[in-house]
């Protein structure tokens, strides 16, 4: 249900409404049209850099102290409160919008880091692909339902007593905060806190976190295939994440209407539900790695096809293709990583995973923004993303998943033997 809750931020705010809304703020301030898309790329990159630096440390601290739910609640609360404050953004206050978006993204991403670290505890290795896929499918349903409601608000604001489209957009931002907060309650009330090994609490928390983090960097050489997967994920997520974040800004730049783009994204959400579940079943037959590679082939085609996009129909076609593979690729990436992670260090290792996805998202928006600003348009920016996806797929081909799982199990066995027995 937390996938259901937080997906509203990813769909309504991050993917659908905020990019074109942000572009309108930049142009209202009198800045050039070409700079609007570029500034959005820079804003997205800054948010990802901040969390990329913080995620591994936060994960290490959570494994030391326990209380993963407490950390998840703090970041979710931050994201919810800041998202609600989007209603105060003025018509030309693009810098304030940048600051608020960065803060909201920190809350969104930080909560997901700790939420994802529950996966190895609530699922066995035999069903981890299916559990992860079902979570993403629920996210598509929840995010899709609210996005559909917001689409109706924006397309027909007077039907709902709203004076105009800008009011409806701000009301949609507020609805994301309310939706996120309400649907997060089942996770925080019902899911038990994972067990953690007792640690020496005399050491300073920050010092302990850095010590664990440094130890993980040193020890990760033992997890060769886990590390290789992280590098592959870093590269192909760069392309995928930039496609998702920049899609509506790019569509707005080439003249596709906001209503058409929102309808296309609603279609993406609901196409994603059965296909995400199908990828979970496909992983049973082909394995998670081969299923991810199949999704990357489609994403490379989407990036290339976007260069030739001219009409709303083209946007619809590409949105359907993204819906077919986006959830399955993300869910299986999460579960493939989780299968190669020692469970006693799940938050710490998922901190690396989360950080790698943030780092992955930095280069793409930066490249997209720079090329857009230099060229005065974004067509070359969008097609360049296929390179990231192809290189990431090539690296993924070299990952030996079975060897990665064996290394994790050996680590868990050592940790069990080394843990002292409690005394009376």
Q: What is the pLDDT of residues 344-377, one digit of tens each?
A: 777 677 766 766 666 666 777 777 777 777 776 6
pLDDT at 383 over 60: yes
- pLDDT for residue 341: 82
- pLDDT for residue 219: 66
Residues 6+ apart with CB under 8 A from 142: 3, 4, 5, 7, 8, 179, 183
pTM over 0.75? The answer is no
What confidence category does residue 327 fall into, taking pLDDT thresholds of 50, 70 and 90?
A: confident
Q: Collapsing DSSP states into helix, strand and coil, what is residue 324?
A: helix
**Among the listed residues 68, 63, 153, 160, the one whose alpha carbon sits nearest the alpha carbon of residue 110:** 68
The arithmetic mean of pLDDT across residues 374-386, rounded, is 73
- Could you give the CA distance from residue 17 to residue 139 in angstroms, rounded to a whole number? 18
How many separate helices (H) and strands (E) can be counted in the chain? 17, 0
Q: 95 and 25 in contact (C-beta within 8 Å)?
A: no
- pLDDT for residue 422: 46
Q: In sequence order, what DSSP letters do the residues of 22-37 get, joined into one string?
A: HHHHHHHTT--HHHHH
Level-2 CATH architecture, domain 2-185+214-406: Up-down Bundle (1.20)
| pLDDT 10s digits, 246-299 | 778 778 877 888 888 888 888 887 888 888 888 888 988 889 999 999 999 999
Burial (CB count <10 Å: 0-12, 13-18, 19+), residue 207: exposed
Q: 162 and 153 in contact (C-beta within 8 Å)?
A: yes
- pLDDT for residue 129: 77
Task: State the greatest distance between any 2 C-alpha atoms of the chain, in Å, as a whole number.
Answer: 73
Residues 6+ apart with CB under 8 A from 315: 251, 256, 260, 261, 264, 309
- pLDDT for residue 423: 47
Q: Considering only 62-71, 184-193, 310-319, 329-338, which range has the smallest mean pLDDT?
A: 62-71
What confidence category does residue 77 fall into, taking pLDDT thresholds of 50, 70 and 90?
A: very high
Q: In sequence order, what DSSP letters do the residues of 359-383 get, joined into one string?
A: HHHHHHHHHHHHHHHHHSSSHHHHH
Residue 53 vs residue 1, higher pLDDT: 1
Q: 225 and 404 in contact (C-beta within 8 Å)?
A: yes
Its sign, for the CA torsion 127, 133, 135, 141, is: negative
Q: What letters, b where the CB count within 10 A reaches 16 and e where it falls short, cover 84-109?
A: bbbeebeebebeebbebbbbbbbbbb
pLDDT at 419 over 60: no
- What is the CB neighbour count within 10 angstroms for residue 125? 15
Residue 50 vs residue 172, higher pLDDT: 172
- pLDDT for residue 424: 42
Instruction: Give residue limits of the domains in the chain.
Output: 2-185+214-406
- Could you give the CA distance from residue 83 to residue 85 in angstroms, rounded to a whole number? 5
Average pLDDT, the chain: 82
- Could you give the CA distance from residue 292 to residue 304 in angstroms, rounded to a whole number? 19
Q: 329 and 411 in contact (C-beta within 8 Å)?
A: no
| pLDDT 10s digits, 108-144 | 988 988 888 788 788 776 777 778 878 878 888 899 8
Residue 424 vs residue 382, higher pLDDT: 382
To the nearest whole percent, how much of the chain has pLDDT over 90? 27
- pLDDT for residue 392: 93
Q: Which H helix or E strand runs over 4?
A: helix 2-8
Residue 55 vs residue 50, higher pLDDT: 50
Q: Collapsing DSSP states into helix, strand and coil, what is residue 398?
A: coil
Helix axes 379-396, 288-306, angle to 10 degrees: 160
- pLDDT for residue 150: 93
| pLDDT 10s digits, 81-97 | 999 999 999 887 899 99
Q: In sequence order, what DSSP letters do the residues of 287-317 get, joined into one string?
A: -HHHHHHHHHHHHHHHHHHHTT--SHHHHHH
- pLDDT for residue 35: 73
The arithmetic mean of pLDDT across residues 204-231, rounded, is 69
Q: Considering only 45-54, 70-79, 154-163, which range has the smallest mean pLDDT?
A: 45-54
pLDDT at 413 over 70: no
Its sign, for the CA torsion 24, 25, 30, 35, is: negative
| pLDDT 10s digits, 170-208 | 999 999 999 999 999 999 998 888 776 555 544 455 555
- Could you give the CA distance from residue 168 to residue 179 in angstroms, rounded to a whole number? 16
- What is the CB neighbour count within 10 angstroms for residue 141? 16
Plot region of 271 (φ>0 → left; ψ -120 to 50 → alpha; else → beta):
alpha
At residue 80, what are phi and psi to the nearest 5 degrees? -65, -45
- Could you give the CA distance from residue 232 to residue 215 in angstroms, rounded to a whole number? 22
- Could you give the CA distance from residue 147 to residue 411 in angstroms, rounded to a whole number? 43
């Amino acid at each position: 249900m937390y996938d259901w809750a937080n997906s509203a931020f990813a769909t309504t705010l991050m993917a659908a409404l905020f990019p074109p809304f942000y572009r309108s703020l930049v142009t209202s301030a009198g800045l050039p049209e070409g700079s609007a898309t570029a500034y959005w790329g820079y804003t997205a990159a800054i948010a990802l850099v901040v969390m990329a630096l913080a995620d591994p440390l936060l994960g290490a601290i959570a494994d030391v102290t326990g209380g993963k739910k407490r950390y998840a609640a703090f970041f979710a609360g931050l994201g919810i409160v800041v998202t609600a404050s989007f209603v105060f953004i003025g018509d030309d206050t693009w810098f304030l919008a940048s600051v608020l978006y960065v803060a909201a993204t920190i809350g969104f991403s930080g909560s997901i880091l700790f939420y994802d670290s529950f996966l190895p505890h609530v699922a066995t290795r035999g069903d981890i692909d299916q559990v992860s896929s079902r979570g993403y499918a629920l996210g598509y349903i929840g995010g899709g339902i609210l996005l559909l409601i917001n689409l109706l608000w924006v397309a027909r604001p007077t039907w709902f007593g709203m004076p105009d489209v800008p009011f409806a957009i701000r009301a949609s931002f507020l609805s994301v905060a309310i939706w996120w907060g309400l649907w997060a309650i089942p996770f925080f009330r019902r899911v038990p806190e994972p067990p953690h090994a007792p640690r020496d609490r005399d050491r300073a928390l920050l010092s302990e976190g850095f010590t664990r983090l440094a130890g993980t960097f040193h020890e990760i050489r033992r997890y060769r295939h886990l590390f290789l997967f992280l590098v592959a994920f870093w590269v192909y997520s760069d392309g995928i994440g930039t496609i998702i974040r920049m899609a509506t800004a790019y569509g707005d730049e080439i003249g596709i209407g906001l209503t058409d783009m929102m309808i296309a994204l609603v279609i993406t959400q609901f196409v994603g539900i059965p296909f995400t579940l199908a990828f979970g079943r496909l992983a049973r037959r082909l394995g998670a790695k081969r299923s991810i590679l199949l999704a990357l082939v489609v994403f490379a085609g989407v990036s290339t096809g976007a260069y030739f996009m001219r009409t709303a129909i083209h946007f619809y076609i590409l949105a359907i293709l993204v819906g077919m593979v986006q959830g399955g690729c993300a869910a299986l990436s999460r579960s493939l990583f989780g299968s190669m992670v020692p469970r006693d260090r799940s938050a710490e290792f998922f901190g690396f995973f989360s950080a790698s996805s943030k780092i992955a998202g930095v280069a793409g928006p930066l490249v997209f923004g720079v090329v857009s600003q230099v060229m005065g348009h974004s067509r070359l920016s969008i097609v360049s993303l296929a390179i990231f996806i192809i290189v990431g797929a090539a690296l993924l081909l070299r990952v030996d998943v079975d060897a990665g799982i064996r290394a994790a199990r050996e680590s868990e066995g050592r940790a069990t033997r080394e843990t002292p027995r409690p005394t009376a």
